Amino acid sequence: MNRKRWVALAIASVLLIISVLVEVIGALVSDEAGRWSDSWLAMMEAPFSEEVVQDGDPLKKIAVLEVNGVIEDAGEAEAFLSSPLYHHQTFLRMIEQAQEDEDVKAIVLRINSPGGGVAESAEIHDQLLKLKKKTNKPIYVSMGAMAASGGYYIATAGDKIFASPETITGSIGVIMQSVNYEKLAKKYGVELVTIKSGPYKDLMNPARSMTEAERDILQRLINNSYEAFVDVVANGRKLPENVVRKLADGRIYDGRQAKSLHLIDEFGYFDDVIAALKREHHLKGAQVVKYATDTPWSSLFGLASARIKPDSGTLEIARLLSRPSSPRLMYLYAE
C-alpha cells in the first residue's frame, strides 16, 4: 500500500471517529424528538454552575459566592485572553441567582481579593444590600488570605465577617495612579502631540507634568469616593464616622488588629463560617453549594485552550494593549 492510500485511510478513519462521536454526543444531550434537551441548552448558556460542597437538604441551601482576584470589569476580550479569576458580570448574575432561588436560605461571601475598581466594588455592595432587603437572607463573609480595600468594601455588606488572624484586610481608601515619562521622552526625542477641546481634556497626560488645577480636580474625585467608602464602613460596621476616619488612612491590618478595631467580628475559616450559619440561622442539615464558573465548554476544551494560550510575556503585552490608558479610581491595595 503506497503513501497516498495510507493518507486516505487515515483521513477516512478520522472522519468515521468524528461522526461516531457526534452521534454519541447527540444521543446524550438530545431529547426523544432529536432536539437539544432543555437541560443541556441551559447548561451551555449558563455562565456558571452549581456544585455541591456539603451534602444536605437541597430545599435548604447555603450558597457560596467567591470573589477571587482583582474586582474589575475587564470585558469579554480580556477574559478570553487571560481567563481571570474574577469576572464581574458573571458574579453579578451569581448574586441574582442566590436572590431568586427560593431554596437558598443563606449566603457565604468568600473573599480573597486586594480590591479593584470603585464602580465595580460599589455595584457589588449595592446588589448585596438589595438581596438582603428583598429576601432577608443572611450574608456571612469568609475572608481568605486577603480582603483589602475594595475587598473590604464589599465585605461590609455582610451580617457577620470572619477572618483568620493572618488575613490582610483594611486598606480603606482610594487610589489613582499613572506614569509620567516626560523626562524619558525628552531624552529620546519622543513627542506626544495632543489636540484637545478644553484645558482639562488630557488630565494625567503621561508626557507632561500635572498642573495644580488638574491635581485639585482629581483630588476632589478621590475625596468623593473616599467619603463613600467611609460611609459604607460606618453603616456596615455600625461604627461612628470619626472612628472610621481614624482607621481609614489607607493602611492594612491583619486579622488580630481588625478584630480589635471591630472591622471584623470573629476569627474563623470557611468551615467555621458554615457552622456558624447553620447554628445561628436554624440551617442544620442544609446543603452547601458553590457557584462555579466552569461550563460544559470549559471542561470540553480546557486542555486545548491551555495548549494554545500565549506565554506569560505575550499575555501581559496583550493585557496592556487591551486596557484603556486612562487612569481609574480604585479601591485597591497595591503591593
Could you list the active site residues?
149, 201
| Closest CA relative to residue 116, chosen from 145, 168, 141, 153 | 153
**E strands present in the chain:** 49-54, 57-68, 104-113, 115-117, 139-148, 160-163, 168-170, 252-254, 266-267, 286-292, 330-332
3 state SS of 300: helix
CA dihedral over 41, 44, 48, 51, signed as positive or negative:
positive
- Cα–Cα distances (Å) from 253 to 69, 146, 149, 161, 333, in that order, read 19, 10, 11, 14, 12
Cβ proximity of 54 and 94 under 8 Å? no
CA 10 – CA 20 distance, rounded (Å): 15
CA 236 – CA 159 distance, rounded (Å): 8
Within 8 A by CB and 6+ apart from 268, the residues are 142, 162, 163, 164, 276
CA dihedral over 237, 240, 241, 247, signed as positive or negative:
negative
Per-residue cell: 285 = 442539615
End-to-end Cα spacing for the chain? 66
User: What is the CB neighbour count within 10 angstroms for residue 255?
Assistant: 22
Long-range pairs of 313-319 with CB within 8 A, sequence gap ≥ 24 = 315/81, 315/82, 318/81, 318/82, 319/78, 319/81, 319/82
| Closest CA relative to residue 94, chosen from 302, 292, 253 | 292
